Amino acid sequence: MNQFAVAHTRTIPEAASAASVTVAHAMTMATDGAGRTQLSVVKAGGIDLLDLLKEGLLAPTRVVNLNNVPGLGEIIEEEDGAVRIGSMATLASLAALPILRQRYPALAGALAESASPQIRNVATLGGNLLQRPRCWYFRSHAFHCLRKGGGHCFAISGENQYHAIFNNMPCAIVHPSTAATVLVALGATVELMNTAGTKRQLLLEDFFVPVERDLQRENDLQPQEILTAIRLPKVGPSLRMVHIKQGEKDSFDWPLADVAVVLDLSPDSTCKRASIILGAASPVPHRAKSAEAVLAGKRIDEGMAAQAAHAALDGATPLSKNAYKLSLFETLVRRAILKAVA
Ligand SMILES: Cc1cc2nc3c(=O)[nH]c(=O)nc-3n(C[C@H](O)[C@H](O)[C@H](O)COP(=O)(O)OP(=O)(O)OC[C@H]3O[C@@H](n4cnc5c(N)ncnc54)[C@H](O)[C@@H]3O)c2cc1C
Ligand code: SF4
């Protein structure tokens, strides 16, 4: 790992000004003669950032620490019933938060199942959504692949068992954030602020960048911009939500597949609206539109859940070693729907 200075900032615009680029930009930019990129990047909990530094994938001259910026970790219940989560709130604090456990149990559960207790104590929700992909070729200094500015994807013809089954050309990463699967299903929005203190807000689903739009970044974070908050819309009593994660092992690890189902049910259990998102399936959280359409306006029983689960795989193009994900996702979607209406 290279030597770097640490900047401690006290306001969000100050932090945005101190950070010259995003990590995604930094990883594809040219370096100076000494092989060091003259750049400063943001650190939240530092779990993912320090991994990249230790692997020699990034060598900034300065790291901008967000830990001392007041208010960035605040959780506020807003007047309209929405919940605004400051980007620096840790995964552990959120998983234990009563308002999340009561109103957004699928999110609290997904956070409690992400990584290990030690990591959850340090990792922030903002950093979790902005973490870089886990593709082992991407994480290895030895492979200068497309996403790092190279000319080739090593996974498509190589070891692709953990890779995408949708929209996987020419890069087959899966989005690494487990929380994102649920947040997209809930219709969460993100709030960002620039050096002038100007805010912009957008749906989290639109914040993520599909490969056809840009191969080298997973989200629309701009240089000199800070992710300040994640806003959860108000949930009414007719909303049911479930998240199921399947890993290779029960202890800490990213999922092989995970599914979030949010259903708006009428009193006679007719589905007014369904939101079904597959995680670890595609470079961005994948909306299973055909499955949602199967459920809309129907009373849900076992047959209907099975039909929707089958439709969730519409458009899948598995690679040489990940076709096992098809039946895995079908099972998880069916289970999640039935659990939501139980
Ligand atoms: C063994 C292990 C298992 C794991 N399992 C899972 C899992 O099951 N599910 C899962 O989702 N994750 C998992 N993770 C990933 C982990 O949760 C993330 O690395 C962590 O949440 C990142 O958060 P952080 O606060 O440490 O971010 P950092 O490492 O500090 O930052 C991550 C990125 O976001 C940028 N950034 C951070 N905050 C901001 C901000 N507010 N504004 C602008 N830019 C910002 C940084 O510049 C950096 O690029 C696992 C990690 C490990 C090591
Ligand atoms: S899947 Fe993407 S990140 Fe992985 S090797 Fe291919 S181009 Fe690189």
If you measure from the C-alpha of residue 50 to the centroid of ligand 2, how many angstroms do you get, rounded to a whole number? 20
pLDDT for residue 32: 57
Q: Locate the ligand 1 atom nearest the alpha carbon of residue 226 and give its number.
A: 42
- pLDDT tens-place string over residues 208-238: 999 999 999 999 999 999 999 999 999 999 9
Confidence of residue 38 (pLDDT cuts 50, 70, 90): confident
Instruction: Tell me what the mean pLDDT of segment 250-258 comes to.
Output: 90
Q: Once rounded to an integer, what is the mean pLDDT over residues 141-158?
A: 96
What is the mean predicted confidence (pLDDT) over 292-304?
96
**Confidence at 251, pLDDT banded by 50, 70, 90:** confident
For residue 127, report the distance from its CA to the centre of ligand 1, in Å: 4
| Ligand 1 pocket mutation pick from 12, 90, 114 by most atoms within 8 angstroms of CB | 114
- Predicted local confidence at residue 29, as pLDDT: 81
CA of residue 152 to ligand 2 center, whole Å: 8
What is the per-residue pLDDT for 113? 95
Ligand nearest to the CA of 131: 1
The answer to whether residues 301 and 141 touch, using CB atoms and an 8 Å cutoff, is: no
Say whether pTM exceeds 0.95: yes
- pLDDT tops 60 at residue 33: no
| Rg, the chain, Cα only | 20
Lowest mean pLDDT among 37-41, 219-223, 243-247, 308-312: 37-41
Q: How confident is the prediction for the chain on average, in pLDDT?
A: 95
Give CA torsion, residues 142, 318, 212, 227, to 10 deg.
-70
Cα 120 to ligand 2 centroid, rounded to whole Å: 27
List, edge to edge, every strand of the sheet that includes 286-287: 239-246, 257-265, 271-279, 286-287
Mutate to test the pocket of ligand 2, among 138, 159, 321 (most ligand atoms within 8 A of CB): 138
**Gap between the Cα atoms of 277 and 333, Å rounded:** 9
Query: Ligand 2 center to residue 271 CA distance, Å?
Result: 38
- Confidence check: pLDDT of 292 > 80: yes
Confidence of residue 275 (pLDDT cuts 50, 70, 90): very high
